Amino acid sequence: MNKRIKDDTIKKKLLDSRLLAYEQIVSLSKCGSYKDNNILIVISTNIAGLPKYHWTITELYRYILISIIDIFLPSNIEYIRFLNFFAGQFLIIKIKTFPLLAKVFLKDFEKILQVFDIDLFINGNQIDSKLLDIPAKKCLICNNSYYECRKKGKHTIRNIRKNVIYRLKRLHKNLF
């Protein structure tokens, strides 16, 4: 099998996996109503170049989970789940709180933990960061627009991965 066919097969598998993950997340978020203030916090390692199963990822998920429990109180948490896909891991936390309050808290969290993608869903809809004037994601290497760098292929996956592993180890060292 030539390299192009193999690369296309992996891309298709990755895209299918992302679609399946998204469908499950939307399905999980549809339980309840706007009045219930039930939201789904989705934290993922779905970032290009990020080693999906690096040992520091597990430790950082644990740190995130403990912090969320401390902030939002155990009585407000309906459930916690891990979903594992080819596209990466997803930590799913269903919580009873005001969506904008959670988004504001998690915005600061996302700045600290730049290698994670943190999204909120309510009743099947994702809460857009633009509503809160949260700036677009920045590239981990050059601090330009993440989407622009990715679209242009400005950095190699190897460089991104080295940078991310360095950041993960540094963050792990500072937190623990």
Per-residue model confidence (pLDDT) at position 99: 76
From residue 94, alpha-carbon distances to 20, 50, 131 in Å are 19, 25, 21
Percent of the chain predicted with pLDDT > 70: 76
The residue ranges of every structural domain in the chain are 3-134
Per-residue model confidence (pLDDT) at position 19: 83
Q: Classify the C-alpha dihedral 118-46-69-175 as positive or negative.
A: negative
Amino acid at residue number 134? I
- Confidence grade of residue 123 (pLDDT, cut at 50, 70, 90): confident
pLDDT at 33 over 60: no
